[in-house]
Amino acid sequence: MRFAVVVLFLGLAACGHNNSPIVGTWFVKTPEAPFPYHMFVFHSDGTVQQANPDAGNANTSDSNGMGVWVAEGDGIKGKFVEITADRSTHQFVSRG
């Protein structure tokens, strides 16, 4: 699943070995997502965490994601995983 994103930088945490401008906390708007507002934290060690309220879908919850990133040229490349669960059965639905 791909989403167009609009980001707002909230703070820079330039610690550790990577001082890329992406390091820090970002408010991200993904208009096509069930709940469009997300928080992303890019850590200087190349890991990323993502969170959003699980209010976007009444049947399933996918409120957190984790992954990795690298600086590549003038951009950033990365991957992260979200686990989705069924709210009524509390069972695994998918990995995205």
- For the ranges 14-18, 40-44, 45-49, 83-87, the lowest mean pLDDT is seen at 14-18
The per-residue pLDDT for 44 is: 93
To the question of pTM greater than 0.75 for the whole model, the response is: no
State how far the Cα of 64 lies from the Cα of 80, in Å rounded to an integer.
10
Give the Cβ contact number of residue 5 at 10 Å. Answer: 15
Residue 30 has pLDDT above 50, yes or no: yes
Residue scoring higher pLDDT (11 or 81): 81
pLDDT tens track for 69-86? 998 888 889 998 888 888
| % of the chain residues with pLDDT over 70 | 80
